[in-house]
Amino acid sequence: MRHQRVGKKLGRDSAHRKALYSNLAGALIEHGRIKTTVTKAKAVKPIAEQMITLGRRGDLHARRQATAFLRSRDVVHKLFAEVAPRFKDRPGGYARIIKLGPRAGDAAEMAYLELVDEEYVTAQREERTPAPAAVVAEPDEVVEEELEESLDPSADEGADDGDDEAGEADEPEGLGEAGPEEAPADPGKSD
Protein backbone atom coordinates (compact mmCIF):
# COMPACT_ATOMS: atom_id res chain seq x y z
CA MET A 1 0.00 0.00 0.00
CA ARG A 2 1.08 3.60 -0.68
CA HIS A 3 -0.54 5.27 2.28
CA GLN A 4 0.97 8.65 3.21
CA ARG A 5 3.36 8.58 0.23
CA VAL A 6 3.81 11.96 -1.43
CA GLY A 7 4.41 12.53 -5.12
CA LYS A 8 3.74 10.76 -8.40
CA LYS A 9 6.03 8.05 -9.71
CA LEU A 10 5.18 8.71 -13.37
CA GLY A 11 6.27 5.20 -14.38
CA ARG A 12 9.96 5.99 -13.87
CA ASP A 13 12.64 5.03 -11.39
CA SER A 14 13.88 7.70 -9.02
CA ALA A 15 16.91 8.81 -11.06
CA HIS A 16 14.84 9.12 -14.25
CA ARG A 17 12.12 11.01 -12.37
CA LYS A 18 14.64 13.44 -10.85
CA ALA A 19 16.18 14.09 -14.27
CA LEU A 20 12.70 14.68 -15.74
CA TYR A 21 11.84 17.22 -13.03
CA SER A 22 15.17 18.97 -13.51
CA ASN A 23 14.77 19.19 -17.26
CA LEU A 24 11.16 20.40 -17.12
CA ALA A 25 11.90 23.02 -14.44
CA GLY A 26 14.93 24.22 -16.43
CA ALA A 27 12.89 24.45 -19.63
CA LEU A 28 10.19 26.42 -17.80
CA ILE A 29 12.74 28.90 -16.45
CA GLU A 30 14.47 29.19 -19.82
CA HIS A 31 11.40 29.54 -22.05
CA GLY A 32 8.71 30.83 -19.69
CA ARG A 33 6.12 28.29 -20.86
CA ILE A 34 6.20 24.58 -21.62
CA LYS A 35 3.59 22.19 -22.96
CA THR A 36 3.39 18.90 -21.07
CA THR A 37 0.88 16.51 -19.55
CA VAL A 38 -1.26 17.69 -16.64
CA THR A 39 0.28 15.11 -14.27
CA LYS A 40 3.85 16.18 -15.08
CA ALA A 41 2.86 19.85 -14.80
CA LYS A 42 1.36 19.28 -11.35
CA ALA A 43 4.50 17.46 -10.25
CA VAL A 44 6.95 20.07 -11.59
CA LYS A 45 5.10 23.26 -10.57
CA PRO A 46 6.12 23.21 -6.86
CA ILE A 47 9.71 22.38 -7.80
CA ALA A 48 9.89 25.29 -10.27
CA GLU A 49 8.39 27.64 -7.70
CA GLN A 50 11.00 26.51 -5.17
CA MET A 51 13.74 27.31 -7.69
CA ILE A 52 12.29 30.82 -8.13
CA THR A 53 12.25 31.22 -4.35
CA LEU A 54 15.94 30.31 -4.32
CA GLY A 55 16.48 32.90 -7.03
CA ARG A 56 14.71 35.52 -4.94
CA ARG A 57 17.03 34.81 -2.01
CA GLY A 58 19.96 35.48 -4.30
CA ASP A 59 22.79 34.41 -2.01
CA LEU A 60 25.62 32.05 -2.87
CA HIS A 61 24.13 29.08 -1.04
CA ALA A 62 20.84 29.47 -2.93
CA ARG A 63 22.73 29.63 -6.23
CA ARG A 64 24.60 26.42 -5.40
CA GLN A 65 21.38 24.66 -4.41
CA ALA A 66 19.73 25.69 -7.69
CA THR A 67 22.78 24.57 -9.68
CA ALA A 68 22.77 21.19 -7.93
CA PHE A 69 19.17 20.59 -8.97
CA LEU A 70 19.00 22.26 -12.41
CA ARG A 71 22.53 21.18 -13.53
CA SER A 72 22.85 24.07 -16.00
CA ARG A 73 24.75 27.22 -15.22
CA ASP A 74 23.06 29.09 -18.06
CA VAL A 75 19.59 28.32 -16.69
CA VAL A 76 20.67 29.21 -13.15
CA HIS A 77 22.12 32.50 -14.38
CA LYS A 78 18.86 33.35 -16.16
CA LEU A 79 16.92 32.35 -13.03
CA PHE A 80 18.90 34.66 -10.75
CA ALA A 81 19.41 37.53 -13.22
CA GLU A 82 16.07 37.76 -15.06
CA VAL A 83 13.30 35.52 -13.70
CA ALA A 84 13.56 35.93 -9.92
CA PRO A 85 13.73 39.77 -9.93
CA ARG A 86 10.38 39.84 -11.76
CA PHE A 87 8.80 38.13 -8.75
CA LYS A 88 10.56 40.05 -5.96
CA ASP A 89 7.29 41.54 -4.64
CA ARG A 90 5.10 38.50 -5.26
CA PRO A 91 4.52 36.23 -2.24
CA GLY A 92 4.38 32.92 -4.12
CA GLY A 93 2.26 31.61 -6.98
CA TYR A 94 4.89 32.11 -9.68
CA ALA A 95 3.56 29.51 -12.14
CA ARG A 96 0.16 28.41 -13.40
CA ILE A 97 -1.28 25.43 -15.23
CA ILE A 98 -3.62 25.98 -18.17
CA LYS A 99 -5.35 22.81 -19.36
CA LEU A 100 -5.52 22.26 -23.11
CA GLY A 101 -7.49 19.06 -23.55
CA PRO A 102 -6.51 15.57 -24.75
CA ARG A 103 -3.47 14.86 -26.92
CA ALA A 104 -4.30 13.49 -30.38
CA GLY A 105 -2.12 10.36 -30.18
CA ASP A 106 -2.95 8.81 -26.80
CA ALA A 107 -5.63 11.14 -25.35
CA ALA A 108 -3.37 12.20 -22.47
CA GLU A 109 -4.56 15.43 -20.84
CA MET A 110 -2.23 18.22 -21.94
CA ALA A 111 -1.52 21.57 -20.31
CA TYR A 112 0.69 24.64 -20.46
CA LEU A 113 2.86 25.20 -17.43
CA GLU A 114 3.83 28.86 -17.56
CA LEU A 115 5.30 31.58 -15.42
CA VAL A 116 2.88 34.30 -14.40
CA ASP A 117 3.52 37.38 -16.55
CA GLU A 118 1.89 40.28 -14.76
CA GLU A 119 3.77 42.05 -12.01
CA TYR A 120 2.39 41.67 -8.54
CA VAL A 121 1.25 45.02 -7.23
CA THR A 122 0.07 45.41 -3.66
CA ALA A 123 -2.16 48.31 -4.61
CA GLN A 124 -4.13 46.13 -7.02
CA ARG A 125 -4.67 43.57 -4.28
CA GLU A 126 -5.89 46.29 -1.93
CA GLU A 127 -8.31 47.57 -4.58
CA ARG A 128 -9.97 44.15 -4.76
CA THR A 129 -10.59 44.03 -1.02
CA PRO A 130 -13.39 46.29 0.27
CA ALA A 131 -12.23 48.98 2.65
CA PRO A 132 -14.33 49.17 5.83
CA ALA A 133 -12.73 52.54 6.73
CA ALA A 134 -15.85 54.55 5.73
CA VAL A 135 -18.04 52.57 8.12
CA VAL A 136 -15.54 52.72 10.98
CA ALA A 137 -14.89 56.48 10.63
CA GLU A 138 -18.34 57.51 11.91
CA PRO A 139 -18.11 55.85 15.37
CA ASP A 140 -14.59 57.27 15.84
CA GLU A 141 -15.88 60.80 15.24
CA VAL A 142 -18.64 60.30 17.81
CA VAL A 143 -16.15 58.97 20.37
CA GLU A 144 -13.83 61.94 19.70
CA GLU A 145 -16.70 64.40 20.23
CA GLU A 146 -17.66 62.72 23.52
CA LEU A 147 -14.01 62.79 24.60
CA GLU A 148 -13.71 66.50 23.79
CA GLU A 149 -16.89 67.25 25.76
CA SER A 150 -15.64 65.34 28.79
CA LEU A 151 -12.24 67.12 28.69
CA ASP A 152 -13.68 70.60 28.07
CA PRO A 153 -13.43 72.63 31.33
CA SER A 154 -16.42 74.82 30.42
CA ALA A 155 -18.61 71.71 30.22
CA ASP A 156 -17.47 70.67 33.72
CA GLU A 157 -18.47 74.05 35.23
CA GLY A 158 -21.98 73.76 33.87
CA ALA A 159 -22.34 70.18 35.07
CA ASP A 160 -20.85 71.00 38.49
CA ASP A 161 -23.69 72.31 40.69
CA GLY A 162 -21.50 73.29 43.59
CA ASP A 163 -20.87 69.70 44.67
CA ASP A 164 -17.21 69.90 45.67
CA GLU A 165 -16.88 66.26 46.70
CA ALA A 166 -17.77 65.03 43.20
CA GLY A 167 -15.18 67.38 41.68
CA GLU A 168 -12.47 66.21 44.06
CA ALA A 169 -13.19 62.56 43.29
CA ASP A 170 -12.34 63.15 39.63
CA GLU A 171 -8.85 64.49 40.48
CA PRO A 172 -5.96 62.07 40.95
CA GLU A 173 -5.11 61.34 44.55
CA GLY A 174 -2.15 63.09 46.13
CA LEU A 175 -2.31 66.16 43.91
CA GLY A 176 -5.07 68.07 45.71
CA GLU A 177 -5.29 71.72 44.78
CA ALA A 178 -1.58 71.88 43.94
CA GLY A 179 -1.52 70.22 40.50
CA PRO A 180 1.30 68.18 38.94
CA GLU A 181 3.85 71.04 38.67
CA GLU A 182 3.87 71.77 42.41
CA ALA A 183 3.86 68.15 43.56
CA PRO A 184 7.21 66.89 44.96
CA ALA A 185 9.29 64.92 42.45
CA ASP A 186 10.10 62.08 44.87
CA PRO A 187 7.62 61.44 47.68
CA GLY A 188 10.27 59.50 49.67
CA LYS A 189 12.58 62.51 49.99
CA SER A 190 11.71 65.40 52.24
CA ASP A 191 13.14 68.89 51.81
Of 74-88, 130-144, 175-189, give the range with the top mean pLDDT.
Answer: 74-88
The domain spanning residue 23 has which CATH number?
A: 3.90.1030.10
Residue 52 in any domain: the answer is: yes
How much is the average pLDDT of 151-158? Answer: 60
Residue 1 in any domain: the answer is: no
Residue 158 in any domain: the answer is: no
Confidence grade of residue 6 (pLDDT, cut at 50, 70, 90): confident
Neighbours of 55 (CB within 10 A): 25
Q: Which domain holds residue 79?
A: 14-119
69-81 per-position pLDDT tens digit: 999 999 999 999 9
Q: For the chain, what is the domain count?
A: 1
Does the pTM exceed 0.85?
no
Report how far residue 186's alpha carbon sits from residue 163's, in angstroms, rounded to the nearest whole number. 32
CB 70 within 8 A of CB 98: no
Residue 167 in any domain: the answer is: no
Q: Is 59 helix (H, G, I), strand (E, B) or coil?
A: coil
**Residues β-bridged to residue 67:** none
Report how far residue 85's alpha carbon sits from residue 57's, in angstroms, rounded to the nearest whole number. 10
Report how far residue 76's alpha carbon sits from residue 86's, in angstroms, rounded to the nearest whole number. 15
